[in-house]
Amino acid sequence: MSSSKKGLLSLAVIALLAAGWYRLRSTQEPPAKPVKVALVTGGSGPFWQLVASGARDAAKKNDVTVELALPKEDENVAEQTELLEKLSAAKFDGVAISPLDAQGQTELLAKIAGQAHMVTFDSDAPESPRLSYIGMNNARAGRLAAELVREALPEGGKLAVIFANLTKDNLLERKRGFEEAMRELAEGAPADAPKYEVVAQLVNEGSEERCREVMKQTLTEHPDLKCFVGMNAQHGPIMVETLKAENLLGKVALVAFDEDAATLDGIEAGNIIGSVVQDPYEYGFQSVRLLAEYARGDETLRPVKGWSSTLGVTPTAVKKESLAEFREYLAKHLPAAK
């Protein structure tokens, strides 16, 4: 082959390689836009650690930088509000918040939403301009708690319900669902049906010591009390501890919320009839995933103006018979949380 033909052949090969390289580059996915999000919880206890674990995993999977802000005390509205006031939302592409005071923090949340994509999780702020809410049907969760009461007290009796606060949207919904279910038990029931009476609705403002105090006071005022219902994660362990100190463990039934390790131990020991659980890991994971998609311009996810978007997680009741399976699920996520 002549040198001129060899030269032409070489040029043809180079052209083909260049064309192939160009086609490959043009069909490859462009690199994902860098995204930075902030996630603000309602505390730093085991429930919120699972939220943080889910957020970290979603950040790794979706190539996102996530900054976590966990108030030191659970359910401390003032501490969380201070964190939100100091948050420089404009530095982030998105912010996920579990608001502890849906009404009181609405103006502050609106300011944050004006600077970054904002979603709420676990507890909603429906009057704020958040784009989505990631959480469970808390009214349904309240109804599940009422079903556990009926199972714990087949013959009826007096009970007291404990709330960390009554400012969070999720707790107000749990309260509503619980009260509706208890009212339905009484309406139209035959004369010989079990009677249930809620003698106290207690609020401990996130304080463990306050929770013990109001429980002891209620036991003194109602020595015939048959059941305590705790509506927050912190209540299960405190209820067991308080009844044990009062020598009433096993004599007063307990219904709990969420998956604190001591609560699960209480279910295993038979001291707690059951606990209504959600999925805090999924709250953190989906919050970060959704904010990344908003930030990268997936407009199909953006709610139509005037509508609200909700990503639902189904509540369920964990009892002794389902405890082992539930613990297996937690074990998949707890190492990262620790």
Note whether 308 and 134 are within 8 A (CB): no
**Per-residue pLDDT averaged across 271-285, rounded?**
96
Question: Is the CATH number 3.40.50.2300 carried by domain 138-277?
Answer: yes
Map 129-145 to HEC letters.
Answer: CCCEEEEECHHHHHHHH
Mean residue pLDDT across the chain: 89
User: Quick check: 2 pLDDT over 70?
Assistant: no
User: Which pLDDT score, from 0 to 100, does residue 335 have?
Assistant: 57
**Per-residue pLDDT averaged across 252-274, rounded?**
97
Predicted confidence band of residue 304 (pLDDT cuts 50, 70, 90): very low
**Per-residue pLDDT averaged across 20-46, rounded?**
76
Note whether 256 and 319 are within 8 A (CB): no
User: Which pLDDT score, from 0 to 100, does residue 338 have?
Assistant: 44
Summarised one tens digit per residue, pLDDT across range 186-223 is 887 898 999 999 999 999 999 999 999 999 999 999 99
Note whether 268 and 325 are within 8 A (CB): no
Rounded to whole angstroms, the Cα distance separating 10 from 282 reads: 57
User: Quick check: 19 pLDDT over 90?
Assistant: no
User: Quick check: 331 pLDDT over 90?
Assistant: no
Predicted confidence band of residue 56 (pLDDT cuts 50, 70, 90): very high
Predicted confidence band of residue 13 (pLDDT cuts 50, 70, 90): very low
Predicted confidence band of residue 20 (pLDDT cuts 50, 70, 90): low
Domain ranges of the chain: 138-277
User: Quick check: 307 pLDDT over 50?
Assistant: no
Query: Which parts of the chain are beta strand (E)?
Result: 35-40, 64-69, 94-97, 117-121, 132-136, 156-163, 195-203, 225-230, 253-257, 274-277, 309-313, 316-318
Summarised one tens digit per residue, pLDDT across range 95-148 is 999 999 999 999 999 999 999 999 999 999 999 999 999 999 999 999 999 999
